[in-house]
Amino acid sequence: MPAFYAGKRVGKPLMGGHTYNAMFNGKLVWPLDRDTVVSIRITDDKGRTLPKSLPVNGTLKLGAKATYADGHVGDLLTTNDVTFASRDTSTATVSGNTLTWRHGGTILVTATVNGFTSAAVSISAAYAPESIKVTDDSGKPIDNITLRVGESKNLKVTILPDAASQEFAASAARPDIAVVGDAKPTGITVSPESLTLRVGETASLNVNILPDYAPQEYAASIKDVNLASVRQQ
C-alpha cells in the first residue's frame, strides 16, 4: 500500500541502507511484506477450483486465498477479512460469500483482501428458457394443426434463447385425439450413392435420416454378405 504526501506518492525512506517506517493512528504507514497482498485466488468455500458454470437458480459458496509480498499464502477466507463482489448484478449477486444466479450470461467475481482487489474470475451463467418456437419442416411457424385420421406432421421445437437448454417434454392435451412422439423419418440419404470396391478395400458412407431432427439411429445391412460386409462407426 503506497503512502502519499501533499498528493504525491512517496517511497519508503531509506537511511544507511535500512528502511525506516512511521506510525499513523497506531498503524504502520508502509505495511510489512507479510501484510501486503500481491495476488488473490478465488475458490469455492472448500478451497477447490470454481466450477465453469452456474445453473439456473443456482448458488455457489465462495472462498479466497491471498498471497503476500513475502511469498506466503494465507488461510482460506470465506466471510471474515474478505469481500466478494459481482461486477454485473443483473447476471448474479453476492451476499457474504454466496453467489446467486439471476440471469444467463457471464458472471465476473472479484475478491478484496486488505485493500487489494483480485482480477475478475468468470463463470458462465446458464440461460433460463424464455419462450418456445414451433415450426414445420419448411421453418414456417406453427400455431395450430389440422390432421385427418392416420395423418402425422413433423414439428421442430426450439427453446429461446438459443443458449438455453433445448430439452423439452411434448404432450397432447387430448391423447384420445392425437399423440405426440419423436419425429418420424421421412427419408434416408447416403453419400456416395454408389461405389466400386476391389478385394480388401474399404470405404466410408455418410447416412443421414430426414428430417435432420428425426432420430438418427439406423441399422445397415448388405443384401449379399458373400460380396461385402458393413460395420457402423
What is the per-residue pLDDT across 102-155, written as a single tens digit (0 to 9) for each? 999 999 999 999 989 999 999 999 999 999 999 988 889 998 888 888 888 888
**Side-chain-facing half-sphere of 62: CA atoms under 13 Å:** 27
Query: Is the pLDDT assigned to residue 5 strictly greater than 70?
Result: no
Closest CA to 118 of 72, 68, 73, 84: 84
Q: How far apart are CA 98 and CA 54, in angstroms?
A: 12
**Could you tell me which CATH number the domain at 39-125 has?**
2.60.40.1080
**What would the pLDDT profile of 127-137 be if each residue is shown by its tens digit?**
999 999 999 88
Residue 123 contacts by C-beta under 8 Å, 6 or more apart in sequence? 50, 51, 52, 53, 54, 60, 92, 99, 106, 107, 109
Q: Is the pTM of this model over 0.85?
A: no
> Which pLDDT band holds residue 11 (cuts at 50, 70, 90)?
low
Break the chain into its structural domains and give their ranges.
1-30, 39-125, 129-181, 185-233
Average pLDDT in the 37-42 region? Answer: 96
Query: Is the pLDDT assigned to residue 42 strictly greater than 90?
Result: yes
**Phi and psi based region of residue 162 (left: phi greater than 0; alpha: psi -120 to 50; beta: remaining):** alpha
Q: How far apart are CA 210 and CA 216, in angstroms?
A: 8
Q: Residue 130: what pLDDT?
A: 94
